[in-house]
Amino acid sequence: MHDNVAPPTGLLELPGELRNRIYDFAQESGQVRLVYKLTLHHEQVEQTSRQFFGLTQVCRKLRVEYLPIYNAQTNVSIDCLHTASYVDTFILPAGVEPEQARRNLIVRTPAYHGESVEQRVPTQAIIDLIALSKKAPQVTIKFDKSAWLVPLLCTLKRRYRTPL
């Protein structure tokens, strides 16, 4: 009776069309918030909300097939102070042309505590993100809704005297 049961099929043994359908269903449910912590010793890492990121780490074949889909579908939220290193590591690593890059990035600006924009927000990082958005059409960059956004745009406009 058990002779008629087909053996289980692994993901890599499925046709590419079926794997692509599976990848379409493997989407993060919400925004992935990345927090940069510099520590000198190992700490207990909090459980992450990145349910499907592990699929990009299984093997080279799945990484090549699924990582571009994962990057295009996942909204990553990162502090504006760390955008340059994030872009260099994950959006434009060595060998990746801007036209090939795919990512949805939400930039968090710091909380407003009465300081000027120049004191708290790295305007060069914001300028670099704007330049990236012009060169990389498949990279979407949004800014969180903070009290800094309008003053930041006004500061950039004054400093560079260009229409935004």
Domains in the chain, number = 1
Read off the tokens for 115. 């300081």
In a domain, 93, yes or no: yes
Tell me, yes or no, whether 44 lies in a domain.
no
At 149 the pLDDT is 66
Is 129 domain-assigned? yes
| pLDDT at residue number 114 | 58
Residue 130 forms part of a structural domain: yes
pLDDT at position 26 is: 84
pLDDT attached to residue 38: 57
User: What confidence category does residue 109 fall into, taking pLDDT thresholds of 50, 70 and 90?
Assistant: confident
Asked if residue 143 has pLDDT above 60, the reply is yes
pLDDT recorded at residue 112:
57
pTM for this one? Answer: 0.68
Q: 48-105: per-residue pLDDT in tens?
A: 567 788 888 888 988 888 888 888 888 888 888 888 888 998 888 888 899 888 889 9
Q: Tell me the pLDDT band of 115, cut-offs 50, 70 and 90.
A: low
Q: How far apart are CA 68 and CA 83, in angstroms?
A: 20
Q: Which residue has the higher pLDDT, 80 or 148?
A: 80
Query: Residue 111's domain spans which residues?
Result: 15-37+49-160
